[in-house]
Each structure stands twice: as structure tokens, then as C-alpha cells.
Amino acid sequence: MATPLLLVVHGRTGGEIPEVYRQLAQELQQRRQAPVGLRALTAPPPPGEALALWGSGLTLVPLLLLPGNHARVDVPALARQLRPNPAVVPAGAGVRRLPFLGAWPAWQQALAAELVALADPVVAGERLPARPPLLLHHPLEGQLALRYLAHLQRSLGCRCLATPYSSQNPEELALAIDGPVLPLALAANRLTERLEPLLSRSQAAPLLERPRLRQLLLEQLAALP
């Protein structure tokens, strides 16, 4: 039997977990024939969460796209909280913590393919040179974050643009968009909602609503031991 998974997601205000994550966890549980739990970092832990998932161990999967405080601080803290007491947990059980999703090479390759599909405009039957696509992301601070964003720009052939979710001025975002756009958000959030009046529904869609990326994530998670 495969090891139980705990998918760690950002969540929305108040700990709400978007339905796209619940559908992903349900399909993944059917494929793996093992428990798959969900934890929103915006919500307190449900009682007995660890006990409900222990078996031969637990794999913590941070479905986070950036090396911000959630990936660097909150997820390691969660792993420590879930670490089993050797006196009550079977021998060999433990917490295995994967890197955050945005660091997975296979995920980055799938993002690159999605961006290539966006950056291939045809106007009046002729292919025209275009500026690299914009990858819209939550603002980050620190040298690690800057190195990560520089790596994405080199490896994905895109331009990274920090886009604060708190800004309520749609004109500010509209002026920044000068080419194809990909919002760096797995599920619908305030950023994708701000984009919908400015772009088509398919352009503003979060990543888990894009078939190529959803399928890749499912395959990668289903293949975990």
C-alpha cells in the first residue's frame, strides 16, 4: 500500500480550501488506494489529523509555488508538529517532507511548455516576434527568492512580474500586461479574479484548471512511494 499523503496548500481566507484541491485529492486517493489529506496553511489543524493518516508513515507534499515564508517556515514547522511519538506510532513510521512544488524539475518543465503555447501568436497569418510571456507572482523578499525568480526567467523563457493581491486598481495591472500572461496560482485566488475582467477566461485560469499541468501533477503524485 502506498504511503498516505498530506497535501499542504495555501488556502483562502479563513482556511477555505478551493474545490479544485478537493477534486485532486479525491482522484489521487483513488489512484493510490491510500489516504490523501488536505491542509490549508490559513486554517488551524483539525483534531486528530496525524492519527487519521498514520500507517506506514506520512509524506508531506507542499503544493506551494514559491520559496516564501510558507515554504521556508510554515511547512517545516508543520512537519515538526506531525512528527510521531515513538511510544505510540508503529516502528518505521515517520514524516517525509518533499520540496515545495515550484522546485520540482518536472513541474518547471510543464510550466515551460505552457508558456511556449502562450507565446506563439499568429497575426494575419504571419508569426510575429513577441515579448516573453509574463509570469505573475506574489511579491517575494530576500536573496533566495531573487535567485529563484532569476532561475525561472532563464529556464522558462519568461518575465516574472510581482503582482500584489492587495491592489484594488485594475488599471495598474492592465498597464503592466504587454503580452501573454500566466498567473502563478494553482487555484483561483484574488489575483486570478482580478485578471478575469482583463483577459479571457482561459488566459486567467489558474494552473490546476489547465489540463497539461493538472495531469502532470497527478502523475507525479500518483507515482510517489
Looking up residue 138, the CATH number of its domain turns out to be 3.40.50
pLDDT at 6: 93
Quick check: 129 and 123 in contact, CB under 8 A?
no
pLDDT at 56: 56
Work out the angle at residue 189's Cα, subtended by the Cα atoms of residues 185 and 191, and round it to the nearest 5 degrees. Answer: 75
Domain termination site, one of 102, 136, 166: 102
Quick check: 186 and 209 in contact, CB under 8 A?
no
pLDDT per residue rounded down to tens, the chain (225 residues): 788 999 999 988 777 899 999 999 999 999 999 999 999 998 876 655 554 455 557 899 999 999 999 999 999 998 888 876 555 555 556 789 999 999 999 999 999 999 988 875 554 455 555 678 899 998 998 899 999 999 999 999 999 999 877 655 666 677 778 778 999 999 999 889 888 888 877 788 999 999 999 999 999 999 999
Range of 71's domain? 5-102
Q: Same domain for 117 and 90?
A: no
Q: Tell me the C-alpha to C-alpha distance, in Å, between residue 135 and each of 43, 99, 181, 183, 223.
A: 28, 21, 6, 6, 28
Spatial CB neighbours of 27, under 8 Å, sequence gap ≥ 6: 218
Q: Same domain for 22 and 87?
A: yes
Q: Tell me the C-alpha to C-alpha distance, in Å, between residue 155 and each of 11, 50, 112, 211.
A: 28, 38, 8, 21
Q: Same domain for 28 and 95?
A: yes
Q: Same domain for 207 and 109?
A: yes
Distance CA 50, CA 223 (A): 22
**Across the strands, what pairs with 161?**
136
The amino acid at residue 94 is G
Q: Same domain for 44 and 118?
A: no
pLDDT at 117: 87
- DSSP structural state of residue 161: E
pLDDT at 51: 46
Say how many CA atoms lie within 13 Å of 9 toward its Cβ. 26
pLDDT at 5: 94
